[in-house]
Every structure is written in C-alpha cells, then in structure tokens.
Amino acid sequence: MLTKIHITSAKQDFSSLALAPVAVLPEFQGKGIGGMLIQAAHKRAKDLGYQSIILLGHEEYYPRFGYRVADEFGISLPFDVPRENCMAIELQPNALKGVHGQVVYAKEFFD
Ligand SMILES: CC(C)(COP(=O)(O)OP(=O)(O)OC[C@H]1O[C@@H](n2cnc3c(N)ncnc32)[C@H](O)[C@@H]1OP(=O)(O)O)[C@@H](O)C(=O)NCCC(=O)NCCS
C-alpha cells in the first residue's frame, strides 16, 4: 500500500509517499511477486506524479529496488528504529536533493 506523507522541517513541507505494508502469502513467497508488487507501486506512484517513496523495512531486501538509507538524504522517520531500516527511493534523479526533515504519516495510517 502507498500512503501520502509529508517530509517536513521548519523550512519546508514536501509531499511524498510511504510504502507499507508489502506482503505476500507465505506459500507464494520467493517467486518474485513481492518484487513485482513493489515495481508496480513505483510505476503507479510515478504515473500520479510522485517522485519519491519512503519505507521502514528489511535492509537487505529493498536496496535491490533502488532504496537507500533515508538518513543519507537527511530524512528521518517518527519512530525509534534502526537507521538502516529507514529507506527512501528517488523515482526521478535527484528528486530528494535538498529535501530534509521528518516524515509525517497520514493520521489514518495509524487508526
Ligand atoms: C518481504 C516479502 C513481501 C517479499 O515477497 P516475495 O514475493 O517473497 O519476494 P520476491 O520473490 O520478489 O523476492 C524474494 C527475495 O526476497 C528476499 N527476502 C524476503 N524476505 C526478506 C527479508 N525479511 N529480509 C531480507 N530479504 C528477504 C528473499 O531472500 C529473496 O532473495 P533472493 O532473490 O536473493 O533469493 C515477503 O517475504 C513477505 O510478505 N514477508 C512477510 C511480510 C513482510 O515482512 N513484509 C515486509 C515488511 S517491511
């Protein structure tokens, strides 16, 4: 699922998306379905005009799709979680250049 988020700081408010959850039934895992879901989500996001996605996830899984540690962009999540699990992808080159701040999720995401 992709959810609208904001990356905010005292200086800026940037619209982006969060990817969560991603899930494949255990009996269908390891067949490439998770990867296809993620790539399809990226395409849908781009088609809607979004240029970046952030997520909280397994540090060994998401880099293969182009995700990098969010801290490298100066972006943090509003949770106390390991740095390597907070990741972001630029769907267009340099889409997150100059974008710094903390992610604010939609309130519905936590309901
Ligand atoms: C993560 C998940 C969505 C991947 O879906 P999938 O259809 O099995 O993924 P794919 O077939 O596209 O890719 C399989 C690869 O993902 C890797 N992988 C799966 N789960 C992983 C994990 N928790 N950590 C690291 N790598 C993982 C596998 O080792 C495999 O690697 P390989 O291609 O090098 O052999 C699926 O395992 C799942 O639903 N897990 C339970 C829910 C979950 O943890 N969701 C992610 C929340 S961040």
Q: Per residue in 56-104, pLDDT tens?
A: 999 999 999 999 999 999 999 999 999 999 999 999 999 999 999 999 9
CA 6 centroid distance within chain: 11
Q: How many domains does the chain have?
A: 1
Q: Per residue in 28-50, pLDDT tens?
A: 999 999 999 999 999 999 999 99
* pLDDT value, residue 109: 83
Report pTM.
0.93
**Ligand 1: distance of its center to the CA of 34 in Å?**
7
Q: Whose CA is nearest to atom 15 of ligand 1?
A: 30
**68-69 β-sheet, strand order:** 68-69, 86-90, 52-56, 13-19, 2-8, 101-105, 75-76
Domain containing 6 — which CATH number? 3.40.630.30
Q: Whose CA is nearest to atom 7 of ligand 1?
A: 34
What residues make up the domain containing 35? 2-110
Q: Whose CA is nearest to atom 21 of ligand 1?
A: 61
Pocket residues: Cβ below 6 A from ligand 1: 21-24, 29-35, 57-58, 60-61
How many Å from the N-terminal Cα to the C-terminal Cα in the chain?
Answer: 15
CB atoms within 10 A of CB 16: 23
Q: Specify whether the CB–CB gap between 74 and 101 falls below 8 A.
A: yes
φ, ψ of residue 56 to 5 degrees: the values are -115, 115
